[in-house]
A and B are shown apart, each in its own frame.
Chain A
Amino acid sequence: MPLTTGALDISAAELALASLFIVAAGAISLWGRIGLGKPILMGAVRCVLQLTIMGYVLSFIFGIASPWVVLLLFCVMVAFAVRIVRGNVSEKSIPFVFPSFVTMLLVYTVVTGIVSGLIVGVRPFWHPQYFIPLAGMVAGNSMTALGLSLDRLLSDLKAKRDLVEMQLCLGATPVEASQDIFRDALKAGMIPSVNSLAGVGLVFLPGMMTGQILSGEDPMLAIRYQIVVMFMLVASTALTVSLVLGIVRQRCFSPGRQLLLRSNRPQ
Chain B
Amino acid sequence: MIHQIPCFEFHDVSFAWHGERVILERQSFSLPQGAFVLIRGPSGGGKSTLLRLMNRLEEVETGEISYLGQNLTDWHPSELRQQVAYLQQTPVISDRSVRDILLQPFSFRINREKTKPSDQILQQLLGKVQMKDIGLDDPGAVLSGGQRQRLSLLRTLLTGPNVLLLDEPTSSLDSESRRCVLELVEELNRQGTTIVMITHDTFLPNHVPVMKITIDQGRVFVCR
Contact = CB atoms under 8 A, between A and B. Distances in A.
Contacts of A257: 56, 77-78
Contact of B92 (A162, A254, A256, A258): A162
A165 B49 CA distance: 14
Given A173-B109, A176-B108, A266-B18, A256 B77 contact: yes
Interface in B1-20: 17-18
B155 interface: yes
A176 B49 CA distance: 24
A168 B79 CA distance: 11
A258 B56 contact: yes
B143 to A, nearest CB: 15
Q: Which of under 10, 10 to 19, 20 to 34, or 35 or more describes the interface residues of A?
A: 10 to 19
B159 interface: yes
B59 A254 contact: yes
Contact of B81 (A163, A168, A254): A168
A176 B112 CA distance: 13
A1 interface: no
Given A169-B86, A171-B78, A258 B104 contact: no
Nearest to A168: B81
Contact of A169 (B18, B79, B85): B85
B55 interface: yes
Interface in B79-96: 79, 81-82, 85-88, 90, 92
B20 to A, nearest CB: 9
Interface string B134-167: 0000000000000000000001100100000000
B90 A162 contact: yes
Contacts of B86: 169
A172 interface: yes
Contacts, number: 69
A141 B21 CA distance: 45
B92 A173 contact: no
Given A256-B73, A266-B17, A266-B21, A166 B92 contact: yes
Given A166-B88, A166-B92, A267-B49, A171 B55 contact: no
B41 interface: no
B128 interface: no
A258 B59 CA distance: 9
A172 B88 contact: no
Contacts of B18: 264, 266
B52 A172 contact: no
B59 A172 contact: no
A248 B105 CA distance: 25
Given A167-B108, A171-B105, 8 more contacts: A162-B88, A169-B57, A170-B81, A176-B107, A256-B56, A258-B57, A264-B18, A267-B49
Interface of A: 162-163, 165-173, 176, 254, 256-258, 264, 266-267
13 contacts: A167-B108, A168-B81, A169-B88, A170-B85, A170-B105, A170-B155, A173-B108, A173-B110, A256-B56, A256-B59, A258-B56, A266-B49, A267-B52
